[in-house]
Amino acid sequence: MINIHGIKAIYRFEMARTFRTLMQSIVAPVLTTSLYFIVFGTAIGSRMGEIDGVTYGAFIIPGLVMLSLLSESISNASFGIYMPKWSGTIYELLSAPVSWVEVLLGYVGAAATKSVMLGLLILGTARVFVPYEIAHPVWMVGFLLLTAVTFSLFGFIIGLWADNFQKLQVIPLLVVTPLTFLGGAFYSIQMLPPVWQTLSLFNPVVYLISGFRWSFYGAADVHIGVSTGMTLVFLAACLAVVWWVFKTGYRLRR
């Protein structure tokens, strides 16, 4: 039997932390993304042509949402599980009558919820600056949820692995953010020379942004089936790593 009360306790605690730090958790990312819309969407976009039949300002919306979604999913989940390790309360969690699945559902569920809320707020904010339409709203919501859960899981792994605050930031800053900028957030990889197009396909973020962009405009650099499949593979890999960590106890204690 799943311990619903245990999942709710972890979930509510993490969600309460978000609302206690509303400026950092919600307001700051929305304001930062608004600056991207002003600079790239309005100022630069007005001087650029269309890409795949879409104005540049509208074209970058899925990429900017993904940029915020990935960073916030990782940050929320990694910080959520790292703090119990840092403060020593991880021992109470490990001795509580909850399984690793329930711990995962509580922490990752809260992190994914916060990320989805943020993504929807950014989409609402984008409407102020750039008119856009969503061709496949069901796919858009599904891809938003899938990405939020997958990268919250990835952030959870980073939080388990990190043994100091510096390590908590190194992968998001030095790996994930550059891959996002190089993953077609601000351009189509079809605009690159053939060699660079091929190299871009080794960037996992390309599939996320491409799939999400398809849900908006029905056009993408990579087929939606491939994008979804690659995301599900990464999700399965993250689940396998978390299972292994709890099975072996690797770095569960500070």
> What is the tens place of the pLDDT at every residue in 226-235?
999 999 999 9
Residue 110 has pLDDT above 70, yes or no: yes
Per the CB < 8 A criterion, the answer to whether 113 and 15 are in contact is yes
Our count of domains for the chain comes to 1
pLDDT, one tens digit per residue, over 53-82 is: 888 888 888 988 998 899 889 998 999 899
Q: How confident is the model at residue 254 (pLDDT cuts 50, 70, 90)?
A: low
Residue 253 has pLDDT above 70, yes or no: no
Residue 69 domain boundaries: 4-248
Alpha helices in the chain (DSSP H): 4-20, 22, 28-36, 56-59, 61-87, 90-95, 100-129, 137-161, 165-171, 177-181, 194-200, 204-217, 224-248
Q: Name, in order, each residue with C-beta under 8 angstroms of 57's C-beta and a sequence gap of 6 or more.
A: 37, 40, 41, 42, 45, 46, 129, 130
Whole-number Å distance between alpha carbons of 194 and 212: 23
In a domain? residue 146: yes
Residue 252 has pLDDT above 80, yes or no: no
Whole-number Å distance between alpha carbons of 161 and 118: 26
Give the count of alpha carbons within 13 A of 212, CB side only.
30
Whole-number Å distance between alpha carbons of 83 and 78: 9
pLDDT at position 43 is 67
In a domain? residue 186: yes
Task: Find the farthest-apart pair of alpha carbons in the chain and give their distance in angstroms, rounded.
Answer: 60
Average pLDDT over every residue of 208-225: 91
Percent share of the chain, pLDDT over 70: 97
In a domain? residue 254: no
pLDDT at position 151 is 94
pLDDT at position 57 is 83
Whole-number Å distance between alpha carbons of 232 and 208: 11
Whole-number Å distance between alpha carbons of 57 and 59: 6
In a domain? residue 59: yes
Q: Is 54 helix (H, G, I), strand (E, B) or coil?
A: strand
In a domain? residue 253: no
Name the more confident of 29 and 242. Answer: 242
Average pLDDT over every residue of 183-187: 86
In a domain? residue 58: yes
Residues in the chain, overall count:
254
Residue 8 has pLDDT above 80, yes or no: yes
Phi, psi of 54 (to 5 degrees): -120, 140
- Please state, rounded to an integer, the average pLDDT across all residues of the chain: 87
Per the CB < 8 A criterion, the answer to whether 130 and 58 are in contact is yes
